[in-house]
Structure 1
Amino acid sequence: MNDSDLRDWLILIRAPGQGARRIREGLVLRGGVGGYMAWLRSHGERLPAETRAWLAAPDEAALARDTAWLQGANHRLLLCTDEDYPPQLEAIADAPAALFVAGDAALLLRPQVGIVGARKAQAPALATTRRFAAELAAGGLLVTSGLADGVDGVAHAGALDAGEPTVAVIGTGPDLVYPSKHRALAHRIAEQGAIVSEFAPGTPSCAQNFPMRNRIIAGLSLGVLVVEAGLRSGSLITARYAGEQGREVFALPGSIHNPLAEGCHALIAEGAQLVQRSDEILAALGPAAVELGAELRARLAGPGPAVPVAKRPAGPFDWRQDDEYRRLIDAMGYDPVLLDALVGGTGLAPGALSSMLLMLELEGEVAVLPGNRYQRVVR
């Protein structure tokens, strides 16, 4: 990647009003980062004011900080257009456009199991977490978690103490450690595994970042184990993401008198697999791990796509030449319409419709309205 492309990527990552899905679709529609940035700059009237302002005058100090971090040893910006972008993460609906990685980015290609749980987990649950992490790591699954206090931190330490690498997906910039008590642990992970962040250097800890982090933990993993969690635990968000992404969800049962077992019991009632031994997880995820290995071998044996795959017609984009796009436009009519109504009116899947609507929005054919409504633009 040349310096110009890197600068464009860093500007896009920090641009307000963009986000992972919009960037990925823009790359597909415009043939790469240079083409997408050129389109954004030439169609400023279609962008929110804050996006226009950022593109016209990005924070050079912030971009310099990003560049300086990337120059550090074993630091990388892993792009969704790179051949070694993890295929299991690429498969989710809202995959990150780019990841800042400290450590060995190749580890993200390995079959992974997410281990999450309560920050204030009790001592028996923490001991179980450590044992499961060590056994799963020894069994060939890379342990992935969120570096949080409690179960997350112990899962990372359990894998490392067993002589195996681990991946931490964090909710801050890659240059920050939260909680600060895990600074030494984060150093070990970066040395022996990988620290991964969707957020640019300097991004502080804030509440909305952690659900975004959780979708990445679930997306990287073939399955997620919830060790101990209350009914309002963020671990249940990770489990929900895993279920929505078609991944296995495992839960450890606990005492009916323990409030931190209620989340696990709720997951089991909803269909999560109750597990008591690590070999149950290894057996359940074995076929998926083999399938992932075959997919990686096939991908790395060929040239690979230059840009991420998405729903679009072959050749230059012209919705008028595509039957599905015309069907979508016809179904919209001229009044605001909800996505659910378009699903019923077109027979298309919600994920495909979302991609198509974004492309039409970028073309200026569709406007997005409050309340997740869409309206055709009349010229």
Structure 2
Amino acid sequence: MPAESSESDQLLLDQIQLNLIQGVGPRIRRSLLDQFGTPSQILNAPRQDLLNVPGIGEKLANAIIYRTAKSTAEEELQRCRAAGYQLLFEESDDYPSLLREMPDPPALLYCKGEILPEDELAVAIVGSRKCTHYGLQQAEKMAAALARAGVTVVSGLARGIDQAAHRGALKAGGRTIAVMATGLSHIYPPEHRELSEQVSAQGALVTEFPLDQAPVAGLFPQRNRIISGLSMGVLLIEAGRKSGALHTARHAYEQGRDVFAVPGRIDHPASAGCHDLIRDGAMLVRSVDDVLEGLSPAKTPVKVSENREVHTPRELSLSDFERDVLNLVTLEPQHLNEIVQSSNLDSSRILSTLTVLEMRKVVKRLPGGFLVRATG
């Protein structure tokens, strides 16, 4: 490594090196970090100390001790920088904050494109690869409506529902993030290469796997936790009882995310998994309004433009005039007369719109004629 490389580069190389060692998955990595503290200390740990960690056997201990990935880590970093990919790790400022809430966040996130602060307002859309025309229709329609409302659409770049979700967001001019189960050098399925380019231009391709990771069946369920982890809620469309999308729903529940499902024909197995989820408490979705109404409040206001912050997803379904009136209401209680006098807008329209905003639960009325902006 060149002498002028920074301390952060060394930390990044340690993260890459650990990530390149086969067998060090999210749970093993968490156990190692709990035991040793940092990737550098893991890579330099004595054999016996490694073997004392649950899940570490001779083969994996040898892979860590001999550090066979060292030169590969430097090459991996150079390749990423040459291609313009970002490498985000937990300690970096631009690492998605929602992922930090996960019990097993990805150690390293390879990113082609850009993850922006407003992407914290995100909903995942997942479902079956072998879906019906109805499923494709609903996925594209829901994704487009969410994108027009300012919500980033997250999915997995797979055939079927995932593909329709990305396309819907792209056609609506919105942002979309594809979470891959392969490395950035292996677009899968291969026929989605053009789609992947469009996604990275209007959002991001992300993966926790090294550049040259080829598709392996067991990695797809592992990546599903990142799909839900990047999102405030997960919307399932046409998931059968054996669909991998149900893994994403399970991760969502474990991560405290909201789960939604679009119903299908009750006699068609394509939606049986969705119907089971609805029966067990997932929110039934008839339109995008059901999703925006059902999403839990953002933990902090999300800045979606230079002059606009969103305190609760319900605000995303407001009209331009409703949004203008909402912006008159602050987080501190104000009297109704003070709010009306603070604007040049028509007072009668302000009053009627405030009533609508109260009904839509984005404004709260307090005793004495005071109003306050809702944050929950």
Q: CA offset at residue 257 of structure 1?
A: 2.4
Contact 1:102 1:190 survives alignment (8 Å) = yes
> Is this contact kept in 2: 1:107–1:193, CA < 8 A?
no
Q: What SS is found at the alignment partner of 1:171?
A: coil
The residue type paired with residue 39 of structure 2 is: V
Question: Which residue in the other structure is 2:222 paired with?
Answer: 212
SS of the equivalent of 1:195 reads strand
CA contact (8 A) 1:145 1:155 kept: yes
How many angstroms does 1:124 deviate by? 1.9
- Corresponding residue for 2:13? 7
TM-score (norm 1): 0.71
* Preserved contact between residue 88 and residue 110 of structure 2 (Cα < 8 Å): yes
Q: Which amino acid aligns with 1:14?
A: L
Shift in Å at residue 216 of structure 1?
0.8
Give the match for residue 355 of structure 2.
none
What residue number does 2:62 align with? 53
Counterpart contact for 2:120–2:302, Cα < 8 Å: no
| 1:192-211 equivalences in 2 (<5 Å) | 192-211=202-221
Q: Would you say the 8 A contact 1:139–1:282 is kept in 2?
A: no
Q: Letter of the 1:127 partner, please give it.
A: Q
Which one is further off, 98-107 or 195-204? 98-107
2:297 aligned to which of 283, 288, 291: 288
Supply the RMSD in Å over aligned alpha carbons. 2.4
Query: Aligned to 1:33, which of 34, 39, 53?
Result: 39
8 Å CA contact retained: 2:182, 2:207: yes
Q: Assess, with a 3 A threshold, how the Cα gap between structure 1 residues 85 and 294 changes in structure 2: closer, same or farther.
A: same
Q: 1:195 to 1:281 in 2, by over 3 A?
A: same
Structure 2: distance between partners of 1:108 and 1:196? 16
Gap runs ≥5 in structure 1: 297-379
Indicate if the aligned counterparts of 1:84 and 1:109 stay in contact, CA closer than 8 A: no
CA change 1:40–1:184 in 2 (3 A) is farther
User: Counterpart of 1:288 in structure 2: which amino acid?
Assistant: P
Q: Partners in 1 of 2:91 and 2:132 — Cα distance? A: 42
Report Cα offsets for 1:110-153 as digits up to 9, x if no partner: 22100001112111221111111011111121100000000001
Query: 1:268 maps to which residue?
Result: 278
Task: Quote the Cα distance in structure 2 between the aligned partners of 1:159 and 1:21.
Answer: 33
> Per residue, is there more helix in 1 or in 2?
1
Q: TM-score, normalised by structure 2?
A: 0.72
83 and 25 in structure 1: CA distance in 2 versus 1, 3 angstrom threshold: farther
1:146 is matched with 156
Provide, for residues 160-194 of structure 1, a one-character-per-residue CA deviation record: whole Å limited to 9, x for no partner: 11111200001111221111110100011112211
Q: AA paired with 2:301?
A: G
Deviation of residue 237 (structure 1)?
Answer: 1.0
Number of residue pairs matched by the alignment: 294
Give the match for residue 113 of structure 2: 103
Q: CA deviation at 1:64?
A: 5.0
Change (3 A) 1:92 1:295: farther
Equivalent of 2:256 in 242, 246, 269: 246
Q: Secondary structure of the residue that 2:297 maps to in structure 1?
A: helix
Cα distance in 1 between the residues matched to 2:300 and 2:241 = 32
* SS in structure 1 of the partner of residue 82 of structure 2: coil
**TM superposition shift of 1:265:** 0.6
* Separation in structure 1 between the aligned mates of residue 111 and residue 46 of structure 2, nearest angstrom: 27
- Structure 1 residue aligned with 2:22: 16
Deviation by residue 1:229-275 (Cα, 9 ceiling, x = unmatched)? 11100111111111122111111111122210111111111111111
CA contact 1:16–1:50 (8 Å) conserved in 2: no
* 2:348 equivalent in structure 1: none
Distance in 2 separating the partners of 1:293 and 1:26: 35
My pick for the range that moved more, 79-88 or 46-55, is: 46-55
Is residue 15–residue 107 contact of structure 2 (8 Å, CA) maintained in 1? Answer: no
State yes or no: 1:94 paired with 2:104.
yes
Which residue of structure 1 aligns with residue 328 of structure 2?
A: none
Q: Which has the higher contact order (CA 8 A, sep 6+)?
A: 1
State the shift of 1:73 in Å. Answer: 4.3
Q: Percent identity?
A: 38
The question of whether the paired residues in 2 share the 8 Å contact of 1:170 and 1:197 is answered with yes
Aligned mates of 2:84, 2:129 — CA distance in 1: 29
1:72 counterpart SS class: helix
Cα distance, 1:96 vs structure 2: 1.3
Q: Secondary structure at the match of 1:260?
A: helix
Q: CA deviation at 1:158?
A: 0.8
**1:60: how far off?**
5.6
Kindly state the Cα deviation for residue 283 of structure 1 after the two structures are TM-superposed.
Answer: 1.6
Displacement of 1:218: 0.9
Aligned mates of 1:40, 1:2 — CA distance in 2: 24
Q: Distance in 1 between matches of 2:73 and 2:181?
A: 19
Q: Distance in 2 between matches of 1:197 and 1:107?
A: 18
C-alpha contact (below 8 Å) 2:240/2:269 kept by paired residues: yes
- In structure 2, what is the Cα distance between the partners aligned to 1:83 and 1:198? 17
Query: Partners of 2:209 and 2:239 in 1: how far apart?
Result: 26
Cα contact 1:223–1:247 (8 A) shared by 2? yes
| Structure 1 residue 45 displacement after superposition | 5.5
Q: CA deviation at 1:18?
A: 2.8
Equivalent pair of 1:74/1:104 in contact (CA under 8 Å): no
